[in-house]
Structure 1
Amino acid sequence: MLRSTERILTSHAGSLPRSPELLEANEARRSGTSSPGAHGRLLQDAVVDVVRRQREAGVDVVNDGEYGHAMASPVDYGAWWHYIFDRISGLTPGEVGLWEQEPRRSAPGRVVLTSFGDRRDRQRFAEAYTDPDSGITTGKQKPFPTITGKLEYVGQEAVAADIRNLKAALDATGAQEGYLAALSPGSCARLQNEHYADEDEVLTACAEALREEYRAITDAGLIVQIDDPSIAENWDQINPEPTVEDYLAFTRKRVEALNYALAGIPAEQVRFHLCWGSWHGPHTTDLEFRHLVDLMLEIDAGAYSFEGANVRHEHEWRVWEDRALPEGKLIVPGIVSHATNVVEHPELVADRIERFARAVGRENVIASTDCGLGGRIHPQIAWAKLETLARGAELATRRLWG
């Protein structure tokens, strides 16, 4: 895993904008109207192009833009999660929409996830969330499947294609390091369950299925990024609000399931991504990072990616002032945000980088984005944000290396 030994390196959190041609090809493949091999050839070329654009923007640690995780439309907040539905058996297509699921209530010592529509932030700002002109949108949401049989990984061909495409793009562009994103057991376990006896069995089954994807990626010499909003985002999906102690006990099971899935994989080939959900809402019910950071550091990863730029969480860089980063670990903080169309000034980018670098050591920081940019902001703005990230990293490098 690359480190910022001579200058501040840059990366991003995963999803990048898809071209209209790729979106059309995704839809044609979904509907069965594409010609044999056409989607695969287009996807391979698109991955080379998106890696080249990352390098031209100044990104050091690149990925495939998550292009192997098909987006349904230009605005799509769920591709990071939905992709796994085609790679795991034991699922039955759902009929109930994401927002129409029945609410569930928690009690002290008994934490359960409620429906997405019953999230506490959505209840508090119900008028804004239901106003089509408010700017809060998450695009098309298809019904989620239900677990009705044994979960087994069947995505071998799909992940092999992701690996081939990214490695070909690395060779074509000369990029040194690449990663592929994969779902966490904790996020996988949020599906409705009608097969397993309890939550613990679901978590174990998800971990055993997903470890195949993790191992395929790392065995190929790439880095796997574990996408796990569930660690932080679940807090808002528990109604009424639990105690922090109950929530951490609930979340620790998800951390243990992830570590179980990662067993035997070198930590230096794993980066973990934590966020509070990437929709453009108020986020007033987000749990403070100080409650989560120690549990996050128990995850067997070499690098930890987290939101550090949006206005709800930027102040939380201070958690690193009184906390020692474990030996050999990296942080990959968000320095530019997906949550605003304003493109950050390079001087601000440099200031944010410096805060983290002075807290944990400049060699232990890779500057990144809060969350994926693809499907959340306009492509032109997304690429401008990556360019300003690189310019700010250059400024920070001059300041830190003097």
Structure 2
Amino acid sequence: MRSSTDRILTTQAGSLPRPDALIELNRSRAEGGIDEQQFHSGVNQAVTELVGRQRSAGVDLVGDGEFGKSVSQRVDYGAWWSYSFQRLGGLELADAPLFETTHEGARATEEVALTSFGNRRDRVGFAEAYADPTSGVEVSTSPMNFPVCRGPLTYVGHEAINADIARFKRALEANGLEEGFMTAIAPASCSRIDNEYYDSQEEFLYACAEAMREEYKAIIDAGLILQLDDPAIAENWDQINPEPSVADYKRFTMRRVEALNHAIRDLPKDRIRFHLCWGSWHGPHTTDLPMRDLVDLLLSIDVRAYSFEAGNVRHEHEWKVWQDVTLPDDKLIMPGVVSHATNVVEHPELVADRIVRFAECVGRERVVASTDCGLGGRVHPQLAWAKLEALASGAELATERLWP
């Protein structure tokens, strides 16, 4: 994975806004209105244009925008996760709400257990705001049918991931680029569905790790950078009601970190980056666990670079954590310095300020400026691209300050 000794590089966290034509392609495919050749031709063109647009906006380390992960409307918070439902064998759609069908004993080894999304502590605490369509609190309006594991997990997404890889590599070549990253869901987030087959949650977790490892290997074997998306490492905290002790939560989460490290065993760590966030929906996040309580777990994940939220108003102050943390010599950080959480486009001077703070903590060569989370499905496309341009401009200003 590229780093720089003479300037601040830029990247983004994965999801980028899908063009309306691509959303319509996904809808038509689901309804049987187009054949597979038409679909793939349209997605190929969209990804090639996307890579070129990232380059024009000033993004150095580009991604495929998660365009192979289907969405049917502009506002969609779940495609980064729900795509895995079609790539894993052993899952069946269920009629019951999430986490109401888990069979007896499946969570017997857990000190704490996840509740449904509707019973998150922030959702309960701000129920009036969530119920008011004029409040500005926004969640995805697209229905999501959650599956249940009712058989041995297997990876069945080879055709889909190979198509994603092939189109992205063509797009990189067409735009004169050699390096790009693709995202894949990590085991902790992948396993946040009901399990009726495995005898324990830990057994199910490791089954997810083994199955998804095939996707991780495919991306790396193709010469691309792998980004592991795992909001569950931080976000699960709010999805445990009542609130657990920090010690119990860290034990609960460390098992998920260990499963992830198991999944990427023997893979080249210098080609892997990890993304952590506290959930990307537009709503209150007053229950978020502080970064200070998570940073040791984050750094125990055996990868090259760490992406995390640092630009939104709930977490911007946490740059101070890195004053007290020793970042291992071979690691990079990719803090979010523009945010999905606001429609305000950040001023480049503010972006530069944020970058410089981190550089002064861990070293200028070890910071890659990024976005808080994926911008696709979270802010209007016009705003998303304006934010990426502000990111690039801010990185230039930070470079002038850090390499005078």
1:348-368 CA distance string (max 9 Å, x none): 000000000110001000000
- 1:280-295 matches, within 5 Å, as 280-295=282-297
Give the aligned residue type for 2:66: E
| Paired letter, 2:297 | L
Contact 2:101 2:194 (C-alpha < 8 Å) held by counterparts: no
Map of 1:235-274 to 2, 5 A cutoff?
235-274=237-276
In 1, the alpha carbon distance for the partners of 2:53 and 2:265 equals 34
Alignment check: 8 A CA contact 2:351 2:395 kept: yes
* RMSD between aligned residues: 1.8
Moved over 6 A (4+): 99-102
Q: Is the 8 Å Cα contact of residues 99 and 114 (structure 2) preserved in structure 1? A: no
Q: Distance in 1 between matches of 2:47 and 2:83?
A: 17
Return the TM-score normalized by structure 2.
0.96
The CA distance in 2 between the partners of 1:101 and 1:120, in whole Å, is 21
8 Å contact kept, 1:367–1:389: yes
Q: Which amino acid aligns with 2:8?
A: I
Pairs within 5 Å for 1:78-157: 78-96=78-96, 110-139=111-140, 140-157=142-159
Shift of 1:28: 1.2
User: How far has the Cα of 1:32 moved from its partner?
Assistant: 2.0
SS in 2 for 1:149: strand
Q: Tell me if 1:185 matches 2:187.
A: yes
Q: 2:355 touches 2:398 (CA, 8 Å); kept in 1?
A: yes
Distance, in Å, in 1 between the alignment partners of 2:152 and 2:28 is 30
Number of equivalenced pairs: 400
Q: TM-score, normalised by structure 1?
A: 0.97
Task: Output the CA distance in 2 between the equivalents of 1:92 and 1:19.
Answer: 31
- Tell me the distance in 1 between the aligned counterparts of 2:219 and 2:393: 31
CA contact (8 A) 1:354 1:396 kept: yes
1:372 maps to which residue? 374
Distance (whole Å) between structure 2 residues aligned to residue 320 and residue 94 of structure 1: 43
In structure 2, the partner of 1:12 is 12
The match for 1:170 among 172, 188, 192 is 172
Amino acid at match of 1:132: P
In structure 2, what is the equivalent of residue 71 of structure 1? 71
Percent of aligned pairs sharing the same letter: 62
Distance 1:192 1:202 in 2: 10
Gaps of 5+ in 1: none
- Aligned mate of 1:397, from 385, 396, 399: 399
Partner Cα separation in structure 2 for residue 88 and residue 32 of structure 1: 22
Q: Is the 8 A contact 1:98 1:142 kept in 2?
A: no
Q: CA deviation at 1:100?
A: 9.1
Distance in 1 (CA, whole Å) between partners of 2:99 and 2:135 is 18
Question: Is the CA contact (8 Å cut-off) linking 2:338 and 2:387 kept in structure 1?
Answer: yes
Query: In structure 2, what is the equivalent of residue 28 of structure 1?
Result: 28
- Aligned residue for 1:273, secondary structure, equals strand
SS of corresponding position for 1:91: strand
The one-letter code matched in structure 2 to 1:142 is M
Moved more, 88-97 or 321-330: 88-97
CA distance in 2, matches of 1:369, 1:4: 18
Q: Aligned-pair distance for 1:30?
A: 1.5
Query: What do residues 70-121 of structure 1 show as CA deviations (whole Å, max 9, x unaligned)?
Result: 112110000000101111010101224569999xxx99x7200011000000
For 1:96 and 1:5, how far apart are their aligned partners in 2? 53
Structure 1 100/150 Cα, relative in aligned 2: closer, same or farther at 3 Å?
closer
Q: Give the Cα separation in 1 of the matches to 2:24 and 2:100.
A: 28
